[in-house]
């Protein structure tokens, strides 16, 4: 029996639970020194949920000029709270977002894109090529 779509959203993305993703993440170091902090662990767990992955990939494909981190801001606020938005945690989140998008086939385009109306002031943008489904 297939899992209900809403229940699927709060489950971890199978691809991000793989040894390949762990190895991919291990190739870059945590330059923020936050990997062992409680909040960073919560952030990374939330970013690996299907709802976060769906939001990031959809955003990268459909809004490539807007920093991808904005796609998960509300999700992080709900599950982690304001602790996710200290300066070091925002940087940590951006680093993890980049790992996830690149592992799943997206391309980093650039950093420092300004963001308005968000807890984030700047962020990176990504591209993700998708082929529209044929309809009809």
Instruction: Tell me if 17 is assigned to some domain.
Output: yes
Instruction: Tell me if 133 is assigned to some domain.
Output: no
* Token pair in block for residue 40: 């960073």
Overall pTM surpassing 0.85 (yes/no): yes
Instruction: Tell me if 94 is assigned to some domain.
Output: yes
Instruction: Tell me if 68 is assigned to some domain.
Output: yes
Instruction: Tell me if 56 is assigned to some domain.
Output: yes
* Separation CA 58–CA 64 (nearest Å): 10
**Mean pLDDT, each 10-residue run in order, the chain (136 residues):** 80 95 87 74 96 95 92 97 94 95 93 93 90 68
pLDDT score of 1: 52
* Separation CA 70–CA 119 (nearest Å): 9
Please spell the DSSP secondary structure of 40-84, one letter per residue: HHHHHHHHTBHHHHHHHHHHHHH-TTS-GGGGGHHHHHHHT-GGG
* Separation CA 50–CA 54 (nearest Å): 6
Our count of domains for the chain comes to 1
pLDDT score of 136: 62
Question: Which domain range does residue 78 map to?
Answer: 5-127
Instruction: Tell me if 11 is assigned to some domain.
Output: yes
Instruction: Tell me if 136 is assigned to some domain.
Output: no
Phi/psi of residue 105, nearest 5 degrees? 105, 0
């Amino acid at each position: 029996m297939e899992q209900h779509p809403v229940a699927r959203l709060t489950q971890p993305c199978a691809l991000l639970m793989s040894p390949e993703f762990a190895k991919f993440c291990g190739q870059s170091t945590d330059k923020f020194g936050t990997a062992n902090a409680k909040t960073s662990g919560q952030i990374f767990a939330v970013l690996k949920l299907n709802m976060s992955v769906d939001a990031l990939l959809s955003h990268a494909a459909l809004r490539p000029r807007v920093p991808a981190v904005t796609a998960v801001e509300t999700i992080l606020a709900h599950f982690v709270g304001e602790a996710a938005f200290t300066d070091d945690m925002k940087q940590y989140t951006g680093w993890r977002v980049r790992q996830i998008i690149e592992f799943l086939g997206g391309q980093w385009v650039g950093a420092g894109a300004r963001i308005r109306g968000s807890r984030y002031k700047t962020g990176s943008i990504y591209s993700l090529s998708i082929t529209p489904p044929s309809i009809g």
